[in-house]
Amino acid sequence: MTQSIVVFGAGPGVGRALARRYGKAGYDVVLVARRAAPLEEFASALATDGTKAHVLPADLSETSRIPALATRIRALVGDPAVVYYAPSPADPDFIPAVSLTAARLHELMPLTLDSLIAVVGEFLPAMLGRGDGAILTAQGAAAVTGRAGMSGWPPLLAAQRNYLQALAAEVADRGVFVGQLHIGARITGTPFDEHYRASGRPDAAFPAADPADLADLLWTMHADRRPLEKVVPDRW
């Protein structure tokens, strides 16, 4: 039976690169993101490369809709072997910690934490039943080390990290790998990278990372079942 990966957050960058990486390895791919048109275009490109891809437009900030979305995923590919969860807000809105409000955290919490927990609740039981599976994420390195002017979304990423660390410790000996990639670099080919380069700021101030290389890192982490976490670049 063909294995599958669900990419929650299949925007330009690591999500699509990971879909390509797993597709080349023979996995069916389910692409989940807000807008249908870019997903359809990318699915067509994957099909040209021989990957079977399915498109499910969804707003992952609507946590109450996760069970219905999971049902649609199972109808397409069954219970996935791999779940990748890394959606980002339309505007990450990095702000100074002195300006952070509880209201802003509550706005970002459903997408960052609530829906992740709901997704894990849907698909982890089948992984545990098989004794095999993987839950992967790729988020900003500010989840690991706080920096001046970079609050707002990162405190919730830190909470997400803590949850996944605990989950990893609980399921590792039951065959499920939980791997986290923390990225302290601008990812080439993304709107953020284009905006950064257009600003004229020096590359040395914020190093670049190729999404294909990051996808390979996640693939290797999954294959080797280690490390549980990796920060890119090493000196963040």
Q: How far apart are CA 182 and CA 152, in angstroms?
A: 17
pLDDT above 70 covers a percentage of the chain that reads 93
Of 114, 93, 120, 115, the C-alpha closest to 104 is 93
Distances (CA, A) of 169 to 17, 116, 177: 27, 17, 9
Instruction: Please report which confidence band the pLDDT of residue 91 belongs to, taking 50, 70 and 90 as the band edges.
Output: confident
Of 122, 115, 216, the C-alpha closest to 160 is 115
User: What are the structural domains, with CATH classification, of the chain?
Assistant: 4-232 (3.40.50.720)
Instruction: Please report which confidence band the pLDDT of residue 223 belongs to, taking 50, 70 and 90 as the band edges.
Output: very high
Q: Say if residues 105 and 92 touch (Cβ distance below 8 Å).
A: no
Average pLDDT over residues 91-116: 93
Residue 121 has pLDDT above 70, yes or no: yes
Instruction: Please report which confidence band the pLDDT of residue 178 belongs to, taking 50, 70 and 90 as the band edges.
Output: very high
Chain segment 3-35, per-residue pLDDT in tens: 999 999 998 899 999 999 999 999 999 999 999
Cα dihedral sign, 196-201-202-207: negative
Cα dihedral sign, 206-138-50-76: negative
On the CB side of 55, CA atoms within 13 Å amount to 16
Phi, psi of 87 (to 5 degrees): -70, 155
